Amino acid sequence: MEPIIKMEDINKEFKVVKRREGVKGSIRDLFSREYSILHAVNNVSLDIMPGEMVGYLGPNGAGKSTTIKMMTGILEPTSGKILVNGRVPYENRTKNAQDIGVVFGQRTQLWWSLPVIESFKILKEIYRIPDKEYKDNLEYYDALVDAGKLYHKAVREMSLGQRTLCDILAAFLHNPGVVFMDEPTIGLDVSMKGKIRQLVGNLNEKKGTTVILTTHDMGDVDALCKRIVIIDKGTMIYDNDIAQLQQYFGAYRTLKIQFNKQAENVENEVLEAQAKEVENWILEKYPHVKSLAVSVEDKWINILLNEDEVHMMDAINCIQNNKRIVDMNLQEISTESVIRKIYEGGVN
Ligand SMILES: Nc1ncnc2c1ncn2[C@@H]1O[C@H](COP(=O)(O)OP(=O)(O)OP(=O)(O)O)[C@@H](O)[C@H]1O
Ligand SMILES: [Mg+2]
C-alpha cells in the first residue's frame, strides 16, 4: 500500500522583518527593512498510511500548523517533496480540496448566517456529492450525534461546541481520504470533548479516513491516536506508537499514598511536610536514585519513580518502616507526563 501522505525533507522558512526598537527604530523600519529567516519546519520526513489516525504534537510554535498548511496546500514548502493523495498539494489546490477535509478549532468553514443544512447543501454542490452518499451521511450523523437537531440552526447562533461538531461533520461530508484537524477540541468542556472524540473515532473507523490531529489535550491523544509524531522547534523528535512512548522514559510509575484516615481534612502544609519526609526516607536508603519526585496533589502524596532504579515494593517497604500507610494506589505514567518530559527536553 502506498502512503496517502508522503513528506520528504520538507522545510519551511519565513522571512520576517526585524523590528527596531522605539520611535526612531520604527521610522527607520519604514525606509530600510532588515529581514531574518525563521525556520518553522526543518527537514521533516513523514509517511502516513491510509486509515491511520496520527497525533501531530509539539509545544506552541513548534511548526504543527505550518506543516498542516503545507499538507493542505495553503503554504508552499521552501524545499522538499510533498504528496497528498498522490498530488502536490499547493500545485493542485482545487483538486486537492476534493480529497481532503479540514477542521480548524478557532474558525469555522461553515457559512456564518446560514442554517447548517444549507451549508451542507452548498458543500454537496461544490464537491458534487452523489445524492445517496449525501443522504447516507446525514443519516449516519444523526444516528451518531443526534445531529438533526442542529441542522436548522444558524452557525452564528451556535455554541462553540455545537459549531465544532458541525464543522467536523462538514469536513467528512464529501468522504475525503484525509481529514486534517488543528486543535479541534480547543475551548470545549469535558463532555463536548468526549462527544467529539467519539465522533472522530467512529468516522475514522467507519469510513477508513486518515486523520491528522494536532492538539494540546493529551486526552484527545489517549482516546484517538495510535501513532504520535512530535515536532519541536521545527524538527521531528519522535515518531512511533503511543504504546512505545509509555516505555520511552524507562519504567516510570507513580505511587499515591495517604498516611491520614481522613486526608481531606488535613492541611496542605502538613501533607507537604510528610512528602518531604518520604523523599528523605527513600533518598537515605537509596541515595543513587535520580528519578524520584515527590509532590502533593488532591490530598495525596505522589511519588514518581523509575522502577529501573528502585522497585516500588522496596520504596513502599521503606516508607512503611517509618510511618503507617493507610491508603495507596499505583499508576502508570500518563501520556500527559511523558509528553511534558519530552517538551521539557527529556529526549536523548
Ligand atoms: N506566516 C508566518 N510568517 C512568519 N512566521 C510564521 C508564520 N506562520 C508561522 N510562523 C512562525 O513559525 C513558527 C511555527 O508556527 P506554527 O503556527 O506552525 O506553530 P504551532 O506548532 O502550530 O504552534 P501552536 O501550538 O501555538 O499552534 C512560529 O515561530 C511562528 O511564529
Ligand atoms: Mg498551531
Q: Residue 106 has which C-alpha cell?
A: 478557532
Tell me the average pLDDT across 285-291: 91
* 161 and 266 together in one domain: no
Q: What is the DSSP string of 108-169?
A: -SS-TTSBHHHHHHHHHHHTT--HHHHHHHHHHHHHHH-GGGGTTSBGGGS-HHHHHHHHHH
- 17 within ligand 1 shell (Cβ under 6 A): no
- C-alpha–C-alpha distance, residues 290 and 306, integer Å: 8
Residue 90: inside a domain, yes or no? yes
Please give the helix or strand (H or E) that residue 262 lies within, else none. Answer: none
- pLDDT tier at 346, thresholds 50, 70, 90: low
Residue pair 181/221 in contact by the 8 Å Cβ criterion = no
On the question of pLDDT at 347 being above 70, the answer is: no
- pLDDT tier at 1, thresholds 50, 70, 90: confident
- C-alpha–C-alpha distance, residues 214 and 216, integer Å: 7
* 284 and 316 together in one domain: yes
* 165 and 272 together in one domain: no
On the question of pLDDT at 115 being above 80, the answer is: yes
Tell me the average pLDDT across 295-310: 91
Residue 135: inside a domain, yes or no? yes
- C-alpha–C-alpha distance, residues 143 and 137, integer Å: 10
* 227 and 319 together in one domain: no
64 CA from centroid of ligand 2 (Å): 6
Q: Which CATH number fits the domain that encloses residue 299? A: 3.30.70.260
- 69 within ligand 1 shell (Cβ under 6 A): no
Residue 13: inside a domain, yes or no? no
Helix (H, G, I), strand (E, B) or coil at 94: helix
322 CA from centroid of ligand 2 (Å): 49
Those residues whose C-beta lies under 8 Å from the C-beta of residue 292, and which sit 6 or more positions away, are: 279, 282, 283, 303, 304, 305, 310
Residue pair 57/228 in contact by the 8 Å Cβ criterion = yes
Q: What is the pLDDT of residue 307?
A: 86
Q: What is the pLDDT of residue 80?
A: 97
- C-alpha–C-alpha distance, residues 42 and 80, integer Å: 10
Half-sphere exposure of 301 (CA within 13 A, CB side): 26
Residue 215: inside a domain, yes or no? yes
- pLDDT tier at 248, thresholds 50, 70, 90: low
- pLDDT tier at 243, thresholds 50, 70, 90: confident
- C-alpha–C-alpha distance, residues 220 and 53, integer Å: 11
- Indicate which atom in ligand 1 lies nearest the CA of residue 58: 21
- C-alpha–C-alpha distance, residues 293 and 290, integer Å: 9
- pLDDT tier at 201, thresholds 50, 70, 90: very high
Tell me the average pLDDT across 140-152: 91
Tell me the average pLDDT across 282-291: 93
Residue type, 206: K
Q: What is the pLDDT of residue 340?
A: 82
Tell me the average pLDDT across 208-236: 94
- 62 within ligand 1 shell (Cβ under 6 A): yes
* 69 and 148 together in one domain: yes
Q: Which ligand is nearest to the Cα of residue 42, counting in written order? A: 1
Beta bridge pairs of residue 230: 57, 238
* 242 and 259 together in one domain: no
- 73 within ligand 1 shell (Cβ under 6 A): no
Q: What is the pLDDT of residue 168?
A: 95
Q: Domains in the chain: how many in total?
A: 2
177 CA from centroid of ligand 1 (Å): 26
Q: Which CATH number fits the domain that encloses residue 51? A: 3.40.50.300
| Mean per-residue pLDDT over the chain, rounded | 91
On the question of pLDDT at 209 being above 50, the answer is: yes
- Indicate which atom in ligand 1 lies nearest the CA of residue 69: 18
For residue 61, how far is the Cα from the chain centroid?
13
- C-alpha–C-alpha distance, residues 129 and 313, integer Å: 61
- C-alpha–C-alpha distance, residues 206 and 92, integer Å: 28
Burial label, 160 (beta-carbon count in 10 A; 0-12, 13-18, 19+): middle
Which of 246, 281, 301 lies at the terminal end of a domain, its last residue?
246
- pLDDT tier at 79, thresholds 50, 70, 90: very high
Residue 35: inside a domain, yes or no? no
Q: What is the pLDDT of residue 337?
A: 78
* 184 and 133 together in one domain: yes
Query: Domain range for residue 322?
Result: 252-332
Q: What is the pLDDT of residue 250?
A: 66
Residue 343: inside a domain, yes or no? no
* 268 and 235 together in one domain: no
Tell me the average pLDDT across 158-169: 93
Burial label, 314 (beta-carbon count in 10 A; 0-12, 13-18, 19+): middle
